[in-house]
Amino acid sequence: MAATRLIAAACVVGAWLLLCAWAWRRARLHRVQQALARQALDAPVPDDTLLVAYATQTGYAEILAEQTAQSLRAGGLAVRVAALEQLDGRRLAEYRRMLFVASTYGEGDPPDAAAAFAQRMQQAAPALAGSQYAVLALGDSEYAHFCGFGHRLDEWLHAQGATPLFDLVEVDNGDPAALRHWQHHLGLLAGRSDLPDWQAPVYESWRLAERRHLNPGSQGGPCYLLTLTPPPGVAPGWQAGDIAEIGPRRETGGPLLAHREYSIASLPEDGSIQLLVRQMRGADGALGLGSGWLTHIAQPGDAIDLRVRANRNFHAPADDRPLLLVGNGTGLAGLRALIKARRAAGRRRNWLVFGERNAAHDWFCRVEIDAWRGDGTLERVDAVFSRDQPQRRYVQHLLREQADAVRAWIDAGAAVYVCGSLQGMAGGVDAALQDILGAARLQAMQHDGRYRRDVY
């Protein structure tokens, strides 16, 4: 018995020593990794290096940050990954482009490790003018301050003069649809249209019922109105502002490629999903993967892999406040669905501002819009066509010219919804609205949900 007890005691002591050795080795490895990370951050930053920073409580944000970095590196970009607590104003100011993956802990608080950085956000701030950023905000919608720290970080970066690469993406409990949206933007940043989805897609099989060419003779790429019908016996639901994710193929029956996103231009009551898609071509003349599939390769009657992604940031207001809708090109798709939803609800204080190339060829859905103007669904319609005069004019120019009317609508409680191209239009509209309303007022509108964008 004594020998047995000695052997058992020796085993316990041995296990304890092994545990201590493992813990010591892990702590030492962590210190080495931290030191190497600090050393890498202290190294000179090449101009084209992109920073991916994360604030994590459980490690999930760090995993997503690493996946983000891998996607960007696949496009040939130089990337550094760092925990937010390793950064300060001086280091942030060294980067021209930054992506943040930020968890929220509890009721809007930062993760414990990022608390010191959050405290520094209240103090003297770095000058980040000329920098660009984007935020992936992780949270739980059961809490009142959903994604609160991510929103605070986004507002702080904007207040320091940095401009968004694209709008903040909210992720509710690891929502895969929101993560796919983030991946979509990473593909645009990386210049790679073939980045694989992080999770295997699950689509429904819809049918391409009709494809109508809207702008024959246009100086721009051909644009099509597509009508897609659901599988038999399926009555899918969506709201105005939601997104259709398409699984393109290089040929009918080929292997699926990475998904593409398109604003839905119709309502469930229409019985189909309609998309407004411009055919895109690369510098070598090759068709874009998504637009090529939808506008050229797939034929009416063919199956289209599709899933709907909720985009609650672009849903119509629940009340009857006035709505100023601004968009260009195929951005009319998302605005069209919103107008349809407002019409169905009997809400008529709607002002549409639309821009394209030539009135003779690119006034998409004009008959429909004229009818809505005639029956009072649209209180006001203003269109601007950039190539119809020697001096290029865009929607942002029209807004500046109508500054008094814009302020009057905002004073009456209007919300502003912007849909269309991120490059050029979205930034130009944002700058025009800041000049018309003031940066502080526009930021307050964004915080209150009265300034919303679906830009790409």
pLDDT digits (tens, 9 = 90+) for 399-434: 999 999 999 999 999 999 999 988 889 999 999 999
- Tokens representing residue 426 in the block: 């979205």
Residues 6+ apart with CB under 8 A from 46: 78
The mean pLDDT of 5-16, rounded to a whole number, is 57
Whether 341 contacts 316, CB under 8 Å: yes
Strand order in the sheet with 323-328: 380-385, 350-356, 323-328, 415-420, 451-455
- Tokens representing residue 137 in the block: 């905000």
The strand pair at 79-83 and 50-55 is best described as parallel
Residue 26 pLDDT > 80, yes or no?
Answer: no
The mean pLDDT of 182-203, rounded to a whole number, is 87
Q: Is 23 exposed, middle or buried (0-12, 13-18, 19+ CB in 10 A)?
A: exposed
The mean pLDDT of 276-283, rounded to a whole number, is 94
Confidence of residue 36 (pLDDT cuts 50, 70, 90): very low
> Which residues sit opposite 83 in a β-bridge?
54
Q: In this predicted structure, what is the pLDDT of residue 42?
A: 61
- Closest to 53 in 3D by CA, of 79, 19, 31: 79
Whether 215 contacts 361, CB under 8 Å: yes
Residue 35 pLDDT > 60, yes or no?
Answer: no
Whether 90 contacts 126, CB under 8 Å: yes
Whether 136 contacts 103, CB under 8 Å: no
The mean pLDDT of 125-131, rounded to a whole number, is 84
Percentage of the chain beyond pLDDT 70 is 90
At residue 263's C-alpha, the angle toward residues 152 and 392, to 5°, is: 85
Q: In this predicted structure, what is the pLDDT of residue 257?
A: 87
C-alpha–C-alpha distance, residues 324 and 412, integer Å:
11
3-state secondary structure at position 26: helix
Residue 200 pLDDT > 70, yes or no?
Answer: yes
The model's pTM? 0.80
Q: In this predicted structure, what is the pLDDT of residue 107?
A: 82
What letter represents residue 282's amino acid?
G
